Chain A
Amino acid sequence: QSALTQPPSASGSPGQSVTISCTGTSSDVGGYNYVSWYQQHPGKAPKLMIYEVSKRPSGVPDRFSGSKSGNTASLTVSGLQAEDEADYYCSSYAGSPLYVFGTGTKVTVL
């Protein structure tokens, strides 16, 4: 089972929006509505930002939104803020192994 494919980097100015893609296969992203997104600041643990494709845990700003079309999931960060600069990883249920993660995207706030 290969890692899900994400662009290495994405950027935007404060207040703008940035969208990160996460491409898998019909055996993972495309087969289940169990895609989650994690934010990771340098030296810190990942933090759950989106689960089940588009749901936000309590406390996560509504600037973060998720969607899916076919084998590709997307995370959009609207109204970019300096604190959003971080690495972002997608993850999907995949059967075997249970979970696969994405390759990661570094988001830079210009």
Chain B
Amino acid sequence: QVQLQESGPGLVKPSQTLSLTCTVSGGSISSGSYYWSWIRQPAGKGLEWIGRIYTSGSTNYNPSLKSRVTISVDTSKNQFSLKLSSVTAADTAVYYCARDSSGWDHDYWGQGTLVTVSS
């Protein structure tokens, strides 16, 4: 059973860079034809897809965030990461990592981690 776990600072100052890591267990991040996504959810609001990465390093980003987002992968650690630069209060949200099944859905999710942007 695949499991995902987000980790990283829960508080980030405005204008700084948000950095999160997702650790995948229960299987190799490189096995199968899967992409690995980041999705966020502001409190009381809906879900927003941020971007995804394949283990080759190929990425797709949401155009609304593309200028500020970098997603990377470390197959040796079975991890993938998110960096979001120049954050503002509007970036405060629960951030989820998830497996993109390549069937255009997300079949496994991490528990989510709250990131608050505040000075």
Contacts and interface: CB of A to CB of B under 8 A. Distances in A.
A3 B101 CA distance: 21
Contact of A51 (B61, B64, B103, B112): B103
Contacts of A91: 47, 105-106
Given A96-B63, A97-B62, A46 B47 contact: yes
B49 A48 contact: no
A97 B49 contact: yes
A45 B2 CA distance: 14
A17 B112 CA distance: 30
B106 A48 contact: yes
A24 interface: no
A32 B104 CA distance: 10
Interface residues of B, number: 21
Contact of B63 (A36, A47, A97, A101): A97
Interface string B14-56: 0000000000000000000000000000000011110010000
Contacts of A32: 104
B49 A103 contact: no
Contact of B49 (A44, A47, A51, A99): A99
B109 A51 contact: no
A100 interface: yes
B105 A51 contact: yes
Interface of A: 3, 32, 34, 36, 38, 44-48, 51-52, 57, 89, 91, 93, 96-104
Interface of B: 46-49, 52, 60-64, 96, 101, 103-107, 109-112
Given A97-B61, A100-B49, 15 more contacts: A32-B104, A34-B103, A34-B105, A36-B106, A46-B96, A48-B107, A51-B105, A52-B105, A89-B46, A93-B104, A97-B49, A97-B63, A98-B52, A103-B46, A104-B47
